[in-house]
Amino acid sequence: MSRPAYHHGDLPQEVLQLALDTLRAEGDTAISLRAIAKRIGVSAPALYRHFTDRESLLAEVAITGFQWLRDRLRRVDQADPRHALLHIGLEYVAFAEDEPNLYRLMFGGRILPRGAHPRLDQAGLEAFRVLEETVAMGQSVGYLKPLPLPLMMATAWSLVHGLSELTIDGHLPGGDIEPALAEGVLTLLLDGSRQQPQ
């Protein structure tokens, strides 16, 4: 019967999927081009027709990660400023908890210097922008202090990013106390950032 087709259906997509599966299960160091090629039933150099090297495959995986994160953040209800700010932070941390290995790939400096993968940088910016719009909105309605937006953003992003990493690396209590802790942490910053303290 039909021997395995010389031309594969959609090799790039299947490679990406397998890389993502491996990452989620065993971390980014477990991603091996040769292993992926073998599992698909194709020779290793075939992958180089679609990814210039291993790192650009990792970049592609990270891009889908940023898209997921962006989509989750966009789903947060923006009606009430305080609710939006709190829950966008919670959602951010929840994403990191749900996808620790993916999150570590997206940040964590495993992919070489910024600027090397423009589409990756752009995907990151798109997720960042959701945070930024929420904070800007909080300022525009007078809920947050009218400090420079870059300063507010650096603070907010640092907090959620740090909280995410410390949580998934097991440096914080975690466990069932976790949601309450995240809410407490975010609330502490939020209360200190209000226009009218009290």
Partner DNA sequence: TTAACTTTGTTAACACCGATAACTTTGGAG
Partner DNA sequence: CTCCAAAGTTATCGGTGTTAACAAAGTTAA
Interface residues toward a copy of itself, by CB under 8 A: 27, 100, 104, 107-109, 113-114, 124, 128, 147, 150-152, 154-155, 157-163, 165-166, 168-173, 181, 184-185, 188-189, 191-193, 197
Encoded tokens for 189: 């910053």
Residue that is written with structure tokens 């609330």 in the block = 187
- Residue among 16, 134, 36, 6 at smallest CA distance from 79: 134
Binding-site size, DNA (CB under 7 A): 21
Among 21, 26, 44, 158, binds DNA (CB under 7 A): 44
Helical residues (DSSP H) of 4-114, grouped into ranges? 11-26, 33-40, 54-74, 81-98, 100-106
Q: Which stretch binds DNA (CB under 7 A): 53-61, 109-117, 134-142, 166-174?
A: 53-61
Cβ proximity to DNA, 54 vs 129, nearer residue:
54
Q: From the list a copy of itself, DNA, none, pick the one residue 170 interacts with, judged by a Cβ distance below 5 to 8 Å according to partner type.
A: a copy of itself
Residue 26 binds to DNA (criterion: CB under 7 A)? no
Residue 65 CA to residue 16 CA, distance in Å, equals 12
Terminal alpha carbon distance of the chain: 76
Site for DNA in 55-94 (CB under 7 A): 55
